[in-house]
Amino acid sequence: MKFKTDENLPVEVAALLCDSGHDAFTVVDQQMAGHPDCDVAAVCRAEQRALVTLDLDFADPRTYPPDLYCGLIVLRPRVQTISMFQRLTKQLLQLLDKQPLMGHLWIVEEQRVRIRGGRA
């Protein structure tokens, strides 16, 4: 699967996705740091990449309808440490084989994952 990690996440998130056999680029790798959310979203759509972010704006289906994307994943850690980000990333990786991401919004918290949306 193809992912883009937002600039608000440590590079370890993209590294863990790559180590798990996925194609992952960071917003920084693609020289998009500081670009508006709508630009990042447009590039994700064009490249057919799921976005992994901390940005709650992407959790609003009125602004970013999940069915228009290959997946939107919003991480919601209690504390922002590299080990916590790695834990949440491992949690979402385990779910990839069990739940569809395409056209869905996943909100990944420490104790649960909320899934919204879905293509008809």
CATH topology of domain 2-117: Rossmann fold (3.40.50)
Q: How confident is the model at residue 118 (pLDDT cuts 50, 70, 90)?
A: low
Strand partners, 116: 105
Cβ(55)–Cβ(34) below 8 Å: no
Name the pTM for this structure.
0.94
pLDDT, mean over the chain = 94
